[in-house]
């Protein structure tokens, strides 16, 4: 086997950008790249290891022996080691064996920029190249319109390992998902799918949130080429793709990023800033230029190479605060004496500015659980620059309310109405995510009180209320058909439940809610604006009834929503309305096709009796544990 030939694909400009933290396409330079040098085919390797004394490429081609293939360190102080190995091509297994200047430490590491990895528990990187011919030109050309903040986002959150399995509890492949999952999401009328992390991760119980291969799709379900096919197929069917992305922490696995070259290269060297006590993982050093470039390049990579439409950024709150999950004495204040992580804040701003500037029509979504201000305001206004933020407070308050027996709900109406006081402070997405159906919290269905009929009616009402509340929507897989068991990442959802009428009824309801949401601009055009929402009455706690109006750009096309949170039907219930004429029922969660009792409203004549402070009113029927929508 030929030795390493000195070769570089870095320009001086690349190196200057890298050192200053401004090189955002590092995946084109670092890592392994099959290419031809002077007529000889082989693979170029480049790795950042500034504390290394020597770096060798070891792999199946040299029997994992470090003697033969030593990379050359660049002369420019960048800490990059590189070289070209003839005859190596796609499919080669490799790692880096690093002798550190730090007390003779030796590490054996997977390539941080590898585009493919071995199936866990194996840990080698794989020389990879994809040649996918994209067929989503129409989607990419119109994405800016489909992904805009005044357009519908009905998101189906999916854990690929447990959505559906085959045979002997085996995973489906990306190509099988391209048939089955795409067809299902389209049939259910969701606008977007959100994949829980699909970058390579070693430990199944982490659900993908502990990453070791930031640039490699997990090999559990197939090759990078296969994942591109899946995303392409989603786009060809008018479905946007959101990826969960984890820049907040990474695991200490020996082959991962931690203590990479015998020094704290990627993680912050101070354990108070560099170690996460909850997740027993390491935290990136957001103040280090090259680390920022690594993370922003990684986000760019998925948007650029995989045509991804949005990133949902995990655990933003843990990044923003130095004292997150820490006791007194376990953290150090910033230079102003407070608890904000200034490096992380400036990183998130740069990340969002860079991505929005480079990719038309994408969205950045923050999973941020605190009241940190201006998460979804532009950076130039002092915000963090995200497009949307998960509305964790609404989710928590709503589920707390719904688990109460109906007889007690009149004392807790504020749990539902409080969200309106801050609903427009950010661009909120309403999430019923995977986190709400694990660790003893029960499934959404089994959180509901009452007998079986009431549990299903409550769940229908919950989804109806969600879809008519200001904001965009996200439902975790299984919720859409009333999964009874908590989510288990080790097995398929309980698809057999769909043989039962109540479960198929919930599924039909969600399908129709998605259609309703997309068919009536009043539900999405001003979903982040106070102008898009008006209470009719939020004070009828005795009856546990809420009535409100949703508005879009056309004032003639507002819709009216009435929710009854008790099992007692409200007949001849007088409700104020803004206009004369007649009301037509356009949606009812109590419809028999959903498993309801079938209590409906015929076309209703509006009278000029003033009510609820409005000039006109109408008498309606609100079914038990039901939501009715009128146009």
Which residue carries 């969200």 as its tokens? Answer: 419
Cβ neighbours of 145 (radius 10 Å): 10
CA distances from 323 to 276, 320, 460, 481 (A): 11, 9, 40, 40
* Residue 319 in tokens: 């990044």
CA distances from 48 to 54, 82, 125, 305, 409 (A): 12, 9, 16, 22, 59
Give the DSSP letter string of 276-332.
ETTTTEE-B-TTSHHHHHHHHHHHHHHHHHS---EEEETTHHHHHBTTTT--TTSS-
Which sequence positions are flagged as catalytic? 314, 367
Residue 321 pairs with which residues in a beta bridge? 340
Q: Which helix (H) or strand (E) holds 465?
A: helix 452-468
524, 526, 531, 536 alpha-carbon torsion, rounded to 10°: 10
Residue 535 pairs with which residues in a beta bridge? 548
* Residue 369 in tokens: 């659980």
Give the DSSP letter string of 217-249.
E-GGG--HHHHHHHHHHHHHTT-EEEEEE--S-
For CA atoms 64, 68, 72, 73, give the dihedral sign. Answer: positive
Backbone dihedral angles phi then psi of residue 569, each to the nearest 5 degrees: -60, 145
Q: Helix, strand or coil for residue 12?
A: helix
């Amino acid at each position: 086997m030929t030795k390493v030939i000195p070769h570089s694909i870095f320009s001086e400009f690349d190196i200057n950008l890298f050192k200053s933290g401004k090189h955002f396409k590092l995946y084109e330079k670092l890592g392994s790249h099959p290419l031809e040098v002077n007529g000889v085919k082989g693979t170029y390797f480049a790795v950042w290891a500034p504390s290394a004394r020597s770096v060798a490429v070891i792999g199946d081609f040299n029997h994992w022996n470090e003697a033969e293939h030593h990379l050359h360190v660049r002369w420019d102080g960048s800490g990059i080691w590189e070289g070209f190995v003839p005859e190596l091509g796609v499919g080669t297994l490799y790692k880096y064996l690093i002798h550190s200047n730090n007390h003779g430490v030796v590490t054996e590491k997977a390539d941080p920029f590898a585009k493919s990895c071995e199936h866990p528990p194996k840990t080698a990187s794989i020389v990879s190249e994809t040649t996918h011919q994209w067929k989503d030109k129409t989607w990419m050309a119109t994405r800016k319109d489909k992904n805009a903040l005044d357009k519908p986002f009905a998101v189906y959150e999916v854990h690929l390992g447990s959505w559906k399995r085959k045979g002997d509890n085996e995973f489906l492949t990306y190509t099988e998902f391209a048939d089955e999952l795409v067809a299902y999401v389209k049939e259910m009328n969701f606008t977007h799918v959100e994949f829980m992390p699909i970058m390579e991760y070693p430990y199944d119980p982490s659900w993908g949130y502990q990453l070791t291969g930031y640039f490699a799709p997990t090999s559990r379900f197939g090759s990078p080429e296969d994942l591109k096919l899946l995303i392409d197929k989603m786009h060809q069917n008018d479905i946007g793709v959101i990826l969960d992305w984890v820049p907040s922490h990474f695991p200490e696995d020996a082959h991962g990023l931690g203590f990479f070259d015998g020094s704290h290269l990627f993680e912050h060297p101070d354990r108070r800033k560099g170690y996460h006590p909850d997740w027993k993982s390491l935290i990136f050093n957001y103040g280090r230029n090259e680390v920022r470039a690594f993370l922003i390049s990684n986000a760019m990579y998925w948007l650029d190479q995989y045509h991804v439409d949005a990133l949902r950024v995990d655990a933003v709150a843990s990044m923003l605060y130095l004292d997150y999950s820490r006791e007194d004495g376990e953290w150090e204040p910033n230079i102003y004496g407070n608890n904000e992580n200034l490096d992380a804040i400036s990183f998130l701003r740069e990340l969002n500015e860079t991505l929005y500037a480079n990719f038309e029509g994408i969205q950045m979504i923050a999973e941020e659980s605190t009241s940190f201000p201006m998460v979804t305001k532009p950076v130039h206004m002092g915000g963090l620059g995200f497009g949307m933020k998960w509305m964790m407070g609404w989710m928590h308050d709503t589920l707390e309310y719904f688990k109460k027996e109906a007889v007690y709900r009149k004392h807790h109406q504020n749990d539902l109405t409080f969200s309106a006081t801050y609903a427009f402070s950010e661009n909120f997405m309403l999430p019923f995510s995977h986190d709400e159906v694990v660790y003893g919290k029960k499934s959404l269905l089994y959180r509901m009180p009452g007998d079986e009929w009431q549990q299903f009616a409550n769940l229908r009402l919950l989804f109806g209320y969600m879809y008519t509340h200001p904001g965009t929507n996200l439902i975790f897989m299984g919720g859409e058909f009333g999964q009874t068991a908590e989510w288990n990442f080790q097995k398929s959802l309980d698809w057999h439940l769909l043989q039962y009428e109540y479960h198929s009824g919930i599924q039909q309801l969600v399908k129709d809610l998605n259609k309703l949401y997309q068919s009536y601009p009043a539900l999405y055009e001003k979903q982040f604006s106070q102008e898009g929402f008006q209470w009719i009455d939020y004070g009828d706690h005795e009856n546990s009834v809420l009535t409100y109006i949703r508005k879009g750009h056309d004032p003639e096309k507002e819709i009216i929503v009435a929710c009854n949170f008790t099992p007692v039907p409200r007949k001849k219930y007088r409700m104020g309305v803004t206009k004369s004429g007649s009301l037509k029922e356009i949606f009812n969660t109590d419809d028999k096709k959903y498993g309801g009792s079938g209590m409906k409203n015929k076309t209703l004549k509006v009278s000029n009796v003033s009510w609820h402070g409005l000039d006109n009113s109408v008498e309606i029927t609100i079914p038990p544990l039901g939501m009715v929508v009128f146009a």
